[in-house]
Amino acid sequence: MTYLLSFLAGILIYATFRVLISGFYVVRPDQRAVLTSFGRAERMPDDGAEGAGTSPLEPDESERYQYPNVRVIGPGGPYFKWPWQRVHKASVSTQSVDLVWDPTVNQSTIEAVTKDNLTTGVNGQLRFRVSENNLYAYFFGVESPLEHVMGYFISILRERIATFVDPKGHELLDKTDLPEASSESAIELSEGVSINDLRKNLPTLNTYMEQQCRSTPGRYGVELDAALITTIDPPPEVDRALSAINSTRNQVAADISTAHADSEQQITMSKRAVEIANNNAQAEVAPLRELAVTLTAIKTEGGSDALSAYLRNMRIPLLKQAKRVVRTS
């Protein structure tokens, strides 16, 4: 009987400890919590009205990621829970993680293959925070949400690097500056250095990744605040080749600019020369036209005799200066 009473007393003490001591919990200001009873989270009346529906999911994704809207416990406390209940807490503050973070692999860079089949190393950081509106996906959707988000991000990044083309590459050499036959070579020159294009367009690449990962809150309950890809390192031998290609491209661009400036100068000088010649011709013709008008007026008003007399009087000063006169008729 004594043993039985001691056993019951132990159970009572254990139950008291479990209920009164470990039954209270608090939620920090940067945390949100979800309470489950026998493994089931408490649903809100408007299941599905928020959460996954607030993220820009594609139609096929909306069918796969239909998570219920659960009751979220905000900061405060102490709250009480029964022994059959469990508290799931998550920090909703913005955090950062390296792109190379992977709990299953020890790596210093993310390898990716470019459009011209070159292996390059990518590094940077991601800023993220747990989506307060979709905690069900974060706690219960996948086993390791951050690991899934990183895998999702790296997959999109590798696909983008493999197909990336400089959006301004075709404008590097203006087609109007080159003959039609050489336009194709200019395009090939701009498309043949994918790593170089990626380096020049890191802001564009970061913006693209942020746009493509806007659905992560609905898929995994994690919001990407910013993608900061800071490093794209090609192999050393490729880096030296890229330096040579860059020098060639810069030289070609400089030569084209110089040729364009010279041609513009020649065209301007030619226009000025034509204008000067036109003015000289008008200066030569203007006195003749004026003389023709004068002779016509004399003949109209005085007749042929007046015109002959005018011509004779005009010849007198010339005849005085002439030393020899030869008449042909």
pLDDT in tens, 196-211: 778 888 888 888 888 8
Taking the whole predicted model, whether its pTM rises above 0.85 is answered as no
Q: Which domains does the chain have, with CATH numbers?
A: 1-234 (3.30.479.30), 236-318 (no CATH)
Average pLDDT, the chain: 81
The terminus-to-terminus CA distance of the chain in angstroms comes to 169
Two structure tokens written together for 235:
């192999």
Cβ contact 291:284 at 8 Å: no
Say how far residue 229 (Cα) sits from the centre of its chain.
13
* H-assigned helices in the chain: 2-16, 59-64, 135-136, 145-163, 183-191, 194-200, 202-212, 216-220, 236-321
Query: Which residue has tokens 């942020």?
Result: 210
Cβ contact 153:125 at 8 Å: no
pLDDT tens-digit readout, 52-84:
455 567 777 777 888 888 889 989 878 888 888
